[in-house]
A and B are shown apart, each in its own frame.
Chain A
């Protein structure tokens, strides 16, 4: 069994073996204990939109896990019969990511995201401002670094490339009905080629996103990431529908690319004519 599949299996077993946590979360519902970060935030139910981050805080010493999955078959390939025959892309290969994040202190989270192209992303978010308490918007500072080829841990001869990211996520919650986001970010060394033979080595991108609560626990989500500097392919865009269920969020999404890390988003989608089915499943352990 491939290591990635084994990891998915292990994490799935852990997630499914802890139903009491979900029950506890349901029982707690909107009542807070001593940490308001543990309350359900109806306008921001998850830590990401589709690929872009939100400003939802991880409670101190609590954590969350996420699986990202993008089927690699373009939905527009062939006719509807072909598509149905491939069960809407499910028969194809997939770009898969596993993510774990942890609240180190109030407002500070760290995490790791690993995709099956052997990219590892380490990230941290710090909540600089929370809407309502100190300002009209939520503001997170974001720093991450990702490395291809397991960040070079595969061996001394493995070639790898590092991509650091600095940025902020600004959110404006719309009551209990969702939130809008603007996320300017600088992505260094997004170009995998040496700078001697590249016009641009960095990407400046501004993610824009929206999550709308259309039913008590159902949301529609959209995001788009215009870029400047190094910008191969097309700007990645996604839309999704998702259902919150206890500590889980199940999301079905459609994207024009496979990027789930910030560096991958900076490298863009494949084509505006090719859209791919995917899903995210996230689980909060609190």
Chain B
């Protein structure tokens, strides 16, 4: 009986020891390994920073710095981006919000970043890529799914 308990315990311990196995988010997000599904992280890693793959920072164009008028009225500069995005109607497709909290599939920013059929204008970032990777898109979608909080 002792042997049974020992074997069972060893198996359970071995399984529990490896339980909690999880993939690293950084393995998924490629050129932005620090990217997290939070607004502050997306602001820093996606909007503000050109990543090592060559994907351009959004604020190269979408900013009002220096008196510029942001394309499509979308200002992604820090401090202005959240209100420009979350719950705001798209100027290109007024029937859709740019970010519809909890609903990435009906958020126009996702359509534009993935270059879906039906978008007005071109896929973002402008210039035929590099575009956001699948992993980066999963993180942005997750942030929207979680309610698109200003966190």
Contact = CB atoms under 8 A, between A and B. Distances in A.
A195 B22 contact: yes
Contacts of B7: 108, 126
B4 to A, nearest CB: 7
Chain B at the A interface: mostly helix, strand, loop or mixed? helix
Contact of B15 (A128, A164, A197): A164
A201 interface: yes
Interface in B31-45: 36-37
B80 interface: no
B21 A162 contact: yes
B24 A194 contact: yes
B142 interface: yes
B113 interface: no
29 contacts: A107-B4, A141-B11, A143-B11, A143-B14, A145-B14, A145-B18, A159-B23, A161-B23, A164-B18, A164-B19, A165-B15, A166-B12, A166-B19, A188-B18, A188-B19, A188-B21, A189-B20, A189-B21, A193-B138, A194-B23, A194-B24, A194-B25, A194-B28, A196-B25, A196-B36, A197-B25, A197-B28, A197-B37, A197-B138
Interface of A: 105, 107-108, 124, 126, 128, 141, 143-145, 159, 161-166, 188-189, 192-197, 201
Given A143-B12, A189-B22, 12 more contacts: A126-B8, A164-B15, A166-B19, A188-B19, A188-B20, A193-B138, A197-B25, A197-B28, A197-B37, A197-B138, A197-B139, A197-B141
